[in-house]
Every structure is written in structure tokens, then in C-alpha cells.
Amino acid sequence: MAKLVYDHQGFAVAEDGTRLFYGVLGSGPLVVLNDGIGCDGFAWKYIQPELARDHTVVHWHYRGHGRSGLPRDRARLDIPAIARDLTAVLAKVDKDLDVNGEAILMGHSMGTQVCLEYDRLFRHRTRAHVLLCGSYGKVTETFHGSDVLKQVLPTLIEQVQRRRGLARALWGRVSPTVAFRFASMSGEIDALNIQQEDFETYWEHINLMDPDIFLPMLRGAGEHSAEDFLTSVDVPTLVIAAERDTFTPSELAQSMADRIPGGEFTLLRGASHAAPIEHPDTIIARIREFLEQRL
């Protein structure tokens, strides 16, 4: 699969010295794309080029993801640290391209938490939110409708840290093809609307990640919550949820939209957590409608 060719790309430096990759497409009002955990852009494959027709679209890689460096400080793997990383990226983009101004923040999955935390920490730098297949936090308590993941995660992290070599060897043993078949059969993805190569690109990146980064970051997302901030969000916000999302149930997304003043909610029937690559045309149309009406 051909890689996206950016108009501009580079690296920012985080507070602890970690190098953070970013790529830019298009020109116009500023849009920033924030991934889910373990992702390096697969969710935005179809959405980013469309938005770049009339926006400056910035996509970046979290610390320990994609082309960004491993974190210099392993303690900085929580949502506030990632939100602060975003400030470094936007400062570098502004220096390079002179695009200073409020950003439209878009987040998929954990990226929803990053958007909300950035808005909380750095008020008046956000123009709008578009939040896809995510919730305000405590995600390990709601995975598949239970807190089982929260209960087992500390033990997993402890075992990985004690046996890093073995954990790394086992981490990437499941092939992308096998993972796709399992996800399709179990209903974790919408097998009728997702392209196998798109899912496999995601799984290949997961396989390359260090589990000693992935799992603590997942724990950080599970411990984080922006629930207390929702009523303080004062910019237009669109929440898009998927009917068959087992990672972040649509009921949580609906509740989040209801608590945000003026929040809008859209439910994608039949879609899964991978909705941005399953139903990109529907999502792009809804985003454009929202931006035209609210901005």
C-alpha cells in the first residue's frame, strides 16, 4: 500500500527531548488529527486527503508510535503528557509554516481524550472538536461492557516489565492475516465495509510497538477522565459513535455529547470501532456539514 505523501513533514521536540513526527497536507483553516493508541494514522487514511482540499491538516505520531522516537522519560505515557506533546508539535508547525491560530481538533478512540485534555490544559487554542469512536475516559473500565481489562492490566504490565525479552518476542506472533480473520469473525470490525489491507496496516504497526510502551499508555488512558471538564467545553463539538463499537460503547459517546453544551451526536449504524476506514464517505460528509454549520 502506498504511503501518504505529505506537503511538509518534520519533527518537533517534546519537553523531555522525545522526537515527535508530524506531517502536513493542504492549506486553509488548521485541523489536527489525533490517533487512537497503537495507531500511526491508519484511521485517517481516507479522511485526511479529503479534509486537505480546504484545510491545513496536521497528523502526528505519539511518542513511541510510528516515526516518533521512544519516550526519553518512560513516566510520561499518560494523557496529559500526550496533550503537552501536541503543543510542541503545533509550535513547530507554526514556526515552519506560519499557521498560528486556533485548531479544529479531531480524535479517534484515545485521541478523543487527547483532544479534551489539550482543551482543558490550553484553553482558547481550540476552535472545535470532532470526536470519533471515543469517550471522555476510564476506557479500561468499559471495554466490552466490563472492567475486566482494568483488572488484568496491572498484572500484564508487571509481567512484561519482568520479562521484557520474552514479552517482545510473543507480542508480534499473531500475523495480520490471522488477526483480520479473528476480528471479522468475532464482530470486532465491520467485515463487509473494511478493506483487509487497511486493517493489516494497523496490525503491523501494533506488532512493531514496544509492549512496555503500549500497555502503560493504555493504563494511563484507563486512569484518565475528562468527565469533570465536559460541561466547561465551550467550542462546537461533534461526537460520532459506532453502533457496534466494543471498545468505547456508543452509550458513553451519547452521554458525552449530551454533557457538552451544544454538543452534536451522530450514530453510525452497523459500524465498529474502525468506523473511519469502514465508512469514510459518511463521516467526511457529516464533518463537512458540521463545520459549515457551526464555524
Divide the 295 residues of the chain into consecutive groups of 10 and give the mean pLDDT of each group.
80 98 96 96 95 97 97 95 97 91 95 98 95 93 83 84 77 82 83 88 89 92 96 98 93 96 97 96 98 96
Residue 133 CB coordination number (10 Å): 28
**CB neighbours of 280 closer than 8 A, spacing ≥ 6?**
45, 46, 47, 50
- Cβ atoms 86, 17 nearer than 8 A: no
For residue 11, give the H/E element and its range. Answer: strand 8-13
pTM, rounded to two decimals: 0.94
For residue 148, the model assigns a pLDDT of: 81
The secondary structure of 64-75, three-state, reads CCCCCCCCCCCC
Q: Cα–Cα distance between 138 and 224 in angstroms, integer?
A: 6
Please name the CATH architecture into which domain 8-294 falls. Answer: 3-Layer(aba) Sandwich (3.40)
Looking at residue 1, what is its pLDDT?
Answer: 43
The answer to whether 239 and 263 are in contact (CB under 8 A) is yes
Distance, CA of 155 to CA of 153 (rounded, Å): 5
DSSP class of 173:
-
The pLDDT value given to residue 3: 65
Instruction: Classify the C-alpha dihedral 130-204-249-74 as positive or negative.
Output: negative
Domain spans, the chain: 8-294
